[in-house]
Structure 1
Amino acid sequence: MKILMVHQNMPGQYREMLDWLIAQGTHDLVFLTQRQNYPDKPGVQKIVYRPHAGPAKDAYGLSRVWEEAAGMGYGAALAARKLKEAGFTPDIILGHTGWGELMFMKHIYPDVPILGFFEYFYLAKGGPVGFEPEDEVSDTVPFLLQARNTVPFTNLHVIDQGIAPTRWQRDCFPAAFHDKLYVCHDGIRTDKLRPDPDVTLNLGRAGQVSRKDEIITYVARNLERTRGYHVLMRALPEIQAARPNARILIVGGNDTSYGKKSEAAGGLRAEMEAEVGSRIDWSRTHMLGQVPYEDFQKIVQISRCHIYLTMPFVLSWSLLESMAMEATIVASDVAPVREAITHGETGLLADFLRPADLAEKVISVLSDPARYAHMGPAARKHVVETYDFLNVCLPQHIDQINALVPEDVRIKL
């Protein structure tokens, strides 16, 4: 099959799918992206496109997102046109709908079906907006978010079939989308993500740690409010006071991927150090920044208690990956997390708005590990049965792809 994948940050949600298609060795694969530094992969042609234009610095706020999306969409379309002129017409296009890259693809390939990835519909009420009482929501926010949603609304009429990775994410979209969206996660390689009782990790000057050490872990792309970094830090003094031998490994960059940035110089990390830093034992607090994927696996495998925090928002791959590695997890008690974790069975759920509740549950896990020993294996079992890429998610995705293309080019499992 000839497949065109479109995602500004290659490979994005197509990480596992791309590798599987390459391994089959029978497909003509082209990936259209903005990510220049992603390493070339044998078996796939990477084409880097640039947005045709972007909004001016003083662009009107309500049209800024549309201008960005239109510039990305037209830039991607121009790259696709060159691809077509070079003789490549795909059997199907797979792409993310969030940034506008697919908007004009039907002008280039009018007869090619498009399967679009719908990640999130921005809610003026619900989701992370106004979730915390301390979060003052500007009167302009509903207007800005409705304007942002012009992009998925436009894409609804471009794609032939859509996908949402979780039920909660699907249900964020209005009912008009639902008939076009099937629900299936990108998939987790549970065959590669497993517990390792013999794992060790070198922390540099802080020495080497193993499963014998009392290790707490927290992982996010960036240390930000949407992913609960401030909640973690407010809970940490109580945790450290109760568990004098516990060490915490904190993974995440000092930027903002989602939501509002901290106004403090140095970001949320500096803001929280100013708020609670005098009550934290920094000799047992290891800020690791962003780490390679192999190190992330070791960090989770070595953990006695893994903390996953998020406002009601897109579910992180890291939660499901940690479950696959049999981590004992304390996570936010919010709807998207409840879709993956059952309290007391596959993890513990804590009130995001009460750092003391998070602290109490983490301390309980560390104080009586035998009481919670069942949760890690149960978490892995659930992920294997529900989110495994090869046996659960891949067959569903292939069925949806095959339903859009002629029989003679369909993918065989």
Structure 2
Amino acid sequence: MKILLVHQNMPGQYRELLDWLVGQGVHDLVFLTQRQNFPERRGVRKVVYKSHHAPAGDAYGLSKTWEEAAGNGYGAAQAAARLKAAGFVPDIILGHTGWGELLFMKQALPGVPILGFFEYYYLAKGGPVGFDPEEPAKPATPYLLHARNAVPNSNLHVVDRGVAPTCWQRDTFPKIFHDKLYVCHDGIRTDRLRPDPDVALNLGRVGRISREDEIFTYLARNMERTRGFHTFMRALPAIQKARPKARVLIVGGSGASYGAASQAEGGFRAELEREVGHLLDWDRVHFLGQLPYADYQKVVQISRCHIYLTMPFVLSWSLLESMAMQATVVASNVAPVREAITHGETGLLVDFLKPEALARQVCEVLADPAKFAHLGRAARDHIVAEYDFLNKCLPEHIAQINTLVPADRRIEL
């Protein structure tokens, strides 16, 4: 099959599917992206496109997102038209709908079916908006968010089929979307993500650490409010006081992936360090930055208690991956997390807004990890059953793709 994949940050949600398609060795794969630094790989042709237009810095806020999406869409469509002129006409297009890249694909490649990835519909009430009293919604917020939804609203009429990774994410979209959407996660490679009782790490001047050490962990793409970095940091003093031998490993960058960046000097991390730093034993706090995937796995595998915090927002791969690695997870008690974790069965849930509740629960786990070990085992079983890429998610994605193409072009499992 000839497949055109479209995602500005290659490979994005197509990481596992792309690897599997390449491994089959029989498909003609082209990946259209803005990401220039993703390494070339055998079996897939990377084509970098440029946005045709970017809005000016002082662009009108209510149209800025659409203007940027239209520029992405036209740039991607021009690249697709060049592919067609060079002889590549795909049997299907798989792409993310969030940045506008699919908007004009039907003009560039008429008749080619499109299966779009629908990640999130911006809510004026609910989700992260107004969730944290420290970050109240501004008067213009409902208008700006509704304007952003011009992109998914337009994509609804572009795609032939759509996918949302979780039920909660699907349900952020209006019901008019639902008939076109099926729910299936991108998939977790549970065959590769497993617990490792013999895991060890070299922690700089601290030296070698292992599962024998009292380690707990927090990770996010970036240390920001949406992912509960402030709640985590405010819980640290109480955890350290109660557990004088515990060390925390913190993985993530200092930028902002979701929501507004901190205006404080040094960003949100520095803001929280100034707030609680005088209460911390910094010799037992280890910021590791953004790690290679193999090292990130070791951090989770070595952890006695893994903290995952989020406002009601898109579910992180890291939560499901940590569960696959049999971590004992303490997470925020919000709807998207409850879709993956049942409190007391596959993990432990606490109030996102209460650092003292987080500290208390983490200390209980650190004090008696054997008492909570069954949660990690049950968590892995749940991820294998519901989110495993090869046995659960891949068959569903392939079945949906095959409904959009002629019988003689369908993919065999």
Shorter chain as denominator, the TM-score bin is over 0.9
For residues 329-348 of structure 1, the aligned pairs below 5 Å read 329-348=329-348
Alignment correspondent of 1:53: 53
1:115 partner amino acid: L
Paired with 1:237 and 1:58, the residues of 2 have a C-alpha distance of 42
Paired with 2:101 and 2:362, the residues of 1 have a C-alpha distance of 43
Paired with 1:162 and 1:124, the residues of 2 have a C-alpha distance of 23
Give how far 1:373 is off: 1.3
Paired with 1:269 and 1:58, the residues of 2 have a C-alpha distance of 28
Alignment correspondent of 1:205: 205
Paired with 1:230 and 1:375, the residues of 2 have a C-alpha distance of 26
Alignment correspondent of 2:39: 39
Give how far 1:134 is off: 1.6
Give how far 1:208 is off: 1.4
Give how far 1:70 is off: 0.3
Give how far 1:270 is off: 0.5
2:361 partner amino acid: K
Paired with 1:369 and 1:19, the residues of 2 have a C-alpha distance of 36
Paired with 1:269 and 1:69, the residues of 2 have a C-alpha distance of 31
Paired with 1:60 and 1:365, the residues of 2 have a C-alpha distance of 50
* Residues 251 and 291 in structure 2, CA contact (< 8 A), matched pair in contact too: yes
The answer to which of 293-302 and 200-209 deviates more is 200-209
Paired with 2:31 and 2:370, the residues of 1 have a C-alpha distance of 48
Deviations 1:33-68 (A, max 9, x none): 000000011000000000001111211010000000
Partner SS, residue 137 of structure 2? coil
1:16 partner amino acid: E
For residues 12-411 of structure 1, the aligned pairs below 5 Å read 12-411=12-411
Give how far 1:206 is off: 2.4
Instruction: Give the RMSD, CA atoms, in angstroms.
Output: 0.5
Give how far 1:135 is off: 1.3
Paired with 1:260 and 1:50, the residues of 2 have a C-alpha distance of 25
Partner SS, residue 163 of structure 1? strand
Paired with 1:264 and 1:397, the residues of 2 have a C-alpha distance of 44
Give how far 1:161 is off: 0.1
Paired with 1:227 and 1:145, the residues of 2 have a C-alpha distance of 20
Paired with 1:261 and 1:206, the residues of 2 have a C-alpha distance of 33
Paired with 2:297 and 2:132, the residues of 1 have a C-alpha distance of 31
Paired with 1:4 and 1:123, the residues of 2 have a C-alpha distance of 31
The answer to which of 360-369 and 149-158 deviates more is 360-369
Give how far 1:370 is off: 2.1
Partner SS, residue 343 of structure 1? coil
Partner SS, residue 356 of structure 1? helix
1:8 partner amino acid: Q
Paired with 1:32 and 1:73, the residues of 2 have a C-alpha distance of 11
Partner SS, residue 217 of structure 2? strand
1:290 partner amino acid: Q
The answer to which of 130-139 and 317-326 deviates more is 130-139
The answer to which of 254-263 and 16-25 deviates more is 254-263
Percent pairwise identity: 73
Paired with 1:205 and 1:54, the residues of 2 have a C-alpha distance of 46
Paired with 1:54 and 1:168, the residues of 2 have a C-alpha distance of 32
Aligned residues: 413
2:179 partner amino acid: D
1:379 partner amino acid: A
1:286 partner amino acid: H
1:406 partner amino acid: P
Paired with 1:63 and 1:14, the residues of 2 have a C-alpha distance of 29
Alignment correspondent of 2:10: 10
The answer to which of 204-213 and 102-111 deviates more is 204-213
Paired with 1:64 and 1:354, the residues of 2 have a C-alpha distance of 36
Paired with 2:316 and 2:206, the residues of 1 have a C-alpha distance of 29
- The TM-score normalised by the length of structure 1 is 1.00
Give how far 1:327 is off: 0.2
Paired with 1:35 and 1:206, the residues of 2 have a C-alpha distance of 37
2:387 partner amino acid: Y
Partner SS, residue 341 of structure 1? coil
* Residues 129 and 136 in structure 2, CA contact (< 8 A), matched pair in contact too: no
Paired with 2:281 and 2:350, the residues of 1 have a C-alpha distance of 23
Paired with 2:67 and 2:367, the residues of 1 have a C-alpha distance of 54
